[in-house]
Amino acid sequence: MATNMTPLFDIHNPEIPIVGESHSFPVRRVYCVGRNYAAHAREMGFDPDRDPPFFFCKPASAIVYCPPGEAVDCPYPVKTSNFHHEIELVVAIGSSGKDVPIAQANELIYGYGLGLDMTRRDLQISMRDIGRPWEIGKAFDNGAPLGQIYPRSTTGLIESGTIAVSVGGETRQNSNVTHLIWSIPEIISNLSTLFELQSGDIIYTGTPDGVGHVNAGEQLIGSMQGLADISITYG
């Protein structure tokens, strides 16, 4: 009998501005793809030919919106001495689907963004090595910076483009999304066999090689061909 109920707390999911639109993109669920660039899989000690990509989640509350032309400041995360950047192309889902064939998967894409899958690498690896979940390494507060959403109707399908991040002015990751092991439609199709995708879901599509530690006070600048830079400093 849940009629006329009012919530005990006032809770809002993050809403990300959409380029050229007056409405925002409300984030429902945040999925991330692991080891989806061969060179990054190798630097993490895995064989990219043998290990299929896999998925993990972050809470929507981990999103930090990074407006274009603005330097965002965040608290430095606790409990880590190996805090890593992972620059990633993000896909924003605009319509629902389950068991979506690869050939139709692009139809679920509302748009794209540029994000950072920030990682407490020491905690992630310590949990990984004893077969426990990764959440404490991945799903922490402010761990998912994200720039504005670019509608697919204006960008077209993004299947290539340089993607990079600098730390304190020094380039650390510099690759191209053509190097994705699993393409975006393959990711969407596979993920939709595990979860019914819904509008508002977003997918961090994986990071290229060159991940590394970020010290407190160092400015991260993420860039992707055709999208605005994102800038964030922790601590």
Contact residues: Mn ion, CB under 5 A: 86, 117, 207
Q: Which is nearer to Mn ion, 105 or 180 (CB)?
A: 180
Q: Are the CB atoms for 32 and 165 separated by under 8 Å?
A: no
For residue 170, the minimal CB distance to Mn ion (Å) is 20
Q: Are the CB atoms for 199 and 95 separated by under 8 Å?
A: yes
For residue 207, the minimal CB distance to Mn ion (Å) is 4
Q: Which is nearer to Mn ion, 107 or 141 (CB)?
A: 141
For residues 178 and 72, what is the distance between their CA atoms, to the nearest angstrom? Answer: 29
For residue 30, the minimal CB distance to Mn ion (Å) is 11
Q: Which is nearer to Mn ion, 31 or 65 (CB)?
A: 31
Q: Which is nearer to Mn ion, 37 or 65 (CB)?
A: 37
Structure tokens at 211: 């991940």
Q: Which is nearer to Mn ion, 86 or 201 (CB)?
A: 86
Q: Which is nearer to Mn ion, 18 or 180 (CB)?
A: 180
For residue 143, the minimal CB distance to Mn ion (Å) is 10
For residue 87, the minimal CB distance to Mn ion (Å) is 9
Q: Are the CB atoms for 157 and 106 separated by under 8 Å?
A: yes
For residue 8, the minimal CB distance to Mn ion (Å) is 34
Residue (of 65, 62, 70) closest to 17 by Cα position? 65
Q: Nearest residue by C-beta to Mn ion? A: 117
Which residue type does 224 have? M
